[in-house]
Structure 1
Amino acid sequence: MGGAAIPTLSLSGCEKPMPVIGMGTMAYPPADIETTKAAILEAMRAGYRHFDTAFAYGSEKPLGEAIAEALRVGLIQSRDELFITTKLWSSFADPAQVVPACRMSLQNLQLEYVDMYLIHQPVRLTEMISRTPVAAEIIRPLDVKGVWEGMEECKNLGLTKGIGVSGDEPYLAAKAIKGILQGKRCSHYCLLSLGANNTKWGDNRIVESDVLADIAKAKGKTTAQVALRWAYEQGVSIVTKSFNKQRMRENLQIFDWALSTDDLEKINQLQQRKGTTLASIFGPHDLLWSLMPRFNYNLLLYFGVVLMNKKLRLFLGCWVLYPLLKY
C-alpha cells in the first residue's frame, strides 16, 4: 500500500481501535458471492483492515469466505488484524430477536465475534423487504430501550466488542453534535454518499466537480482523494466502496498530505444533498412525510438513550461516504 499508515480511532466501550477508513461491501446492483469475495481479498492486499457489512447487504457470507481464505493463504496472520462491522437489520429489531440475529450474522461470517454491531436503522419492520418504497403499515417505531438492552446482551456474551447505532442524523446542529461525540470518543455513523455513481440514489457530481478537479490537479491527486481527504479532515471515519483494484488503493492514499485552508473553504461552499431512502429512493413522498412526526420523536429518544448511557458502550460510527463513488 502506498502512502502513510491508516490512522485509527479509539472508541469508548470498544476493545479495539478502529481504522478510520474501511471498505464497504454493499454493491448496487448486487454482486455475486465470488465477485464480492475477490474484491475483499484484493482490498486486504491493498491494506484495508476495516470491513463494513450487514445482513441486509447479503455480503456477510462472501466476507466470511474471504476472511477464511485470507487466513489460509497467509494474507493475514490472525482474525484480530481485522475490524469487522455488521448490523442488526430492522426486521429483527425486536428485543427477543437481537441476540439470535447477531448469532446468525456470526454464522454467515464464520466468526466468533464482530468488532462492532450496529442497529441498522431507528425503525422496526414487521416483514422482510427486498426493495423500497415500503408499505407504511409494516413500519413501526423502534423499542429503543428493549433493543438496546439486546445489543448490550450481545456485548456481554462476547458476540461483539462494541455496539452502536447507524442510519441516524442527530436532531441537532451537525457541528455541535460532532463536538459532543468526539469528546466522548464516539464517531458519528450515518449515510452520506459522496457521489455513489451508478446507483439509483447517486450521481457523478463529485468526480465531475470543477472545484474538486482544480484542487486535485494542483495537488496531483484524484477528485475522489480530495473528497476523502476533506471528509477525514472533518474528523469522521470513512467507508469507501469500489471493487476497482486501482481505486481501492487510491482511496487509501489520503493520509500523507493535507488540504489548505483555502481548499477547505472552497469545498465547504459546495452544495450538499442529504436525504433518506426508506420510504422512497426518489422522495420525498407522502409516505415519508406521514411518518416524520413519529421519526423525529424516536430519533430524539434514540440519541437521548444512547448518549446518556453511563458506560457509553457504543459506536456512533460514520457511515459517511458509503458507497463512495461506485465507479
Structure 2
Amino acid sequence: MHETPALPLNDGNRIPQIGFGVWRLEEDKAPEVVGAAIKAGYRHIDTAQGYENEAGVGEAIAQASIDRGELFITSKLRNGHQGYDSALRSLDESLARLKLDHLDLFLIHWPAPAHDRYVDTWKALVEAQKNGKVKSIGVSNFLPEHIQRIVDATGVVPAVNQIELHAAYQQRAIREWLQEHEIQIECYSPLGGQGSQLLEDDAIKDIAEAHGKSPAQVIIRWHLQQNLIVLPKSSKPERARDNFDVWDFTLTREDLDRIDALDRPDGKTLPEPNENNEMF
C-alpha cells in the first residue's frame, strides 16, 4: 500500500496530498464506504457539518484498525453556525458526532459575506486551535479579499483554502495568490463536478490510454503533479481504490500542457463564493 505524500502547512503541520471526500454520502452508508477507503490506503478524510454524515464517518474511524494518529480528519462549519460563540459550540458538536477529541483541520465552509460573520467565526477557530481542539484551521470557497480581511483582523493566515478546482476550471489567478501567501490549495470536485464531461474528453482519454490508466486517474495525477491537494469522492469502493492508485505513473510535460488547455471561463459547477449566502 502506497503511503500518501504529505505537504507542509504554514502552521508547521502536514496534510496528506490525497483525501477522500464524502459530500452526498448518506449517513448510513458512511461507515462502510469510508471504512473501505481507509482500507484502500486513504488517510485523509474530508467531511462537513453540512454533509450530514459526520456520525457515520466517526463510526468508520472508530472501526478502523489503525491508530487515530495515522488519520487526518477534516470537517467544515456550516454557514448557519457562523459567529464566535456558535462556531465554538458547533465544533464541539462535530467532535461529539465524530467521536474525536480533536480535528486535524477545521474550515469555514463558505464566507457568506452578506451575513458578515466570517471574521468573528475565524477568531473562534483561532481560539479552538489554541485550545487544542483543532490542529490546523482554514477556509473553503474564500476569495483573496475574504482571506485578507481575516488575516488583518487576527494576524493568523489560514493553512488551506478548499476550492473548486479541476481541469475545466483551473483558477490560476487565485492559485497564484494563495501560493504567494503560503496557503495550501485543496481541490474539491477534482473530476469536474456534477454533469462534467471531463472524463469523456478526448485529450484526457488519449492520455489515459497512453499510460494504461483511467481518465479519472489521469485527472487526479494532474492535480498531484502541481502540488495541489486533491479530494476525489466516490460511494463505490472499487472506484475509490482506483482513484487512489495513481502513484505508479507520471504525466509528461506534453500531457500536462494538453490538460492545461482544457481550462474554460464557464467551467465552474458550484456557486460563486460571494453568491452562496444560504444559512444552511
TM interval, short-chain normalised:
0.7 to 0.9
Structure 1 residues 235 and 22: alpha-carbon distance in aligned structure 2, compared to 1, 3 A threshold? same
Q: Is the 1:22–1:48 Cα contact (8 Å) retained in structure 2?
A: yes
Partner of 1:151: 125
Show the counterpart of 1:111.
Answer: 100
Match of 2:135 among 147, 161, 181: 161
Give the corresponding residue for 1:261.
Answer: 253
User: What is the aligned-residue RMSD (CA, Å)?
Assistant: 2.5
- Kindly state the Cα deviation for residue 47 of structure 1 after the two structures are TM-superposed: 0.5
Q: What are the Cα deviations for residues 128-169 of structure 1, in whole angstroms up to 9, with x where unaligned?
A: xxxxxxxxxxxx332333221111111111110011100234
Pairs within 5 Å for 1:64-75: 64-70=58-64, 75=65
Structure 1: any 5+ residue segments left out of the alignment?
A: 125-139, 197-201, 279-287, 296-327
Identity percentage over the alignment?
Answer: 34
Task: Give SS of 1:242's match.
Answer: coil
Task: Write the mapping of 1:71-82 to structure 2, written as runs, cut at 5 A.
Answer: 75-76=65-66, 78-82=67-71
TM-score normalised to structure 1 length: 0.71
Cα separation, 2, equivalents of 1:149 and 1:168: 16
For CA contacts below 8 A with separation 6 or more, give which structure has more relative contact order.
Answer: 1
Give the aligned partner of residue 142 of structure 1. Answer: 116
Higher Rg: 1
Amino acid at match of 1:269: A
Shift of 1:115: 0.3
Deviation at 1:184, TM superposition (A): 4.8
**Is 1:9 the equivalent of 2:7?**
yes
Residue 239 of structure 1: CA displacement?
Answer: 0.6
User: How many residues are matched?
Assistant: 252
Kindly indicate whether residue 46 of structure 2 is the aligned counterpart of residue 52 of structure 1.
yes
Aligned to 1:227, the other structure's residue is in SS state helix
CA spacing shift, 1:100–1:187, aligned 2, 3 Å:
same
Match of 2:32 in 1: 38
Instruction: Identify, as 1 or 2, the structure richer in strand.
Output: 2
Out of 174, 179, 182, the residue aligned to residue 179 of structure 2 is 182
Distance 1:276 1:181 in 2: 20
C-alpha offsets along residues 97-140 of structure 1, whole Å, 9 cap, x if unaligned?
1110100000000000000010000017xxxxxxxxxxxxxxx3
Q: Distance in 1 between matches of 2:41 and 2:86?
A: 35
Whole-angstrom distance in 2 between the partners of 1:176 and 1:165:
18
Partners in 2 of 1:256 and 1:274 — Cα distance?
30
Partner SS, residue 107 of structure 2: strand
- Equivalent residues in 2 for 1:183-202, closer than 5 Å: 184-189=181-186, 191-196=188-193, 202=194
